[in-house]
Amino acid sequence: MNILIMGAPGSGKGTFSSRLKETYNLDHISTGDLFRENISNSTELGIEAKSYIDAGHLVPDDLVNRMVLDYLKNKMPKDNDGYLLDGYPRTLEQAKTFKEATKGTDLDVDHILYMDVPHDILKKRILGRRSCPECGEIYNIYFKAPQKENVCDHCGHELSYRSDDNEESLKIRLSDYDALTQPVIDFYADHGQLKKINADADFDDIWSDIEKAIG
């Protein structure tokens, strides 16, 4: 089973990717991990990608496509029952190229999941995130607040938050996501492949919807 999972920051994509990977024995692939692996191993693709990154440029779609397809065709473990692609395709050109390159092969996509969450909920999920650096417990001041403000219920340590979890940064991240990814969502919807998941719900309800979507 081959799955693409899409969703904005804070949509729960990472959480449910982990569940999908474990439940269906999928190779969870993120483009970020592929870039780091190729660059650290100084592969031909990694050296080419690093030249763009070092120059302050975005890695071109063509190179991203080649890196993903190279992994799927040549490096994906044989003991998995398929793949779960996370964070790709990110642009319309990537989506078109990937669809054409995998059509009619074992790498063709079976399910495309879109984790749909309203922007106002995304903002609360991200801006309200707090974590305990001591025991790792996760909180949210809007949905799962600690009993005492900014103090961990379990170990009493002061809570912390990510520096990029702020209003200005989030606005840019969501704007970039919408501009790049909405055409991808429309592309798959037009082809009748998109399966929209209501990710503004309880964990069990979301997981139930995912299981129904992938049959």
Question: Catalytic residue numbers?
Answer: 13, 90, 129, 162, 173
Q: What is the DSSP string of 124-164?
A: HHHHTEEE-TTT--EEETTTB--SBTTB-TTT-PBPB--TT
| Phi-psi map region of 32: left, alpha, beta (phi>0 left; psi -120 to 50 alpha) | alpha
At residue 195, the 3 state secondary structure works out as strand
Give which of 41, 42, 111, 38 is closest to 69, Cα–Cα: 38
CA-atom Rg of the chain in angstroms: 19
Nearest to 147 by CA among 179, 72, 139, 22: 139
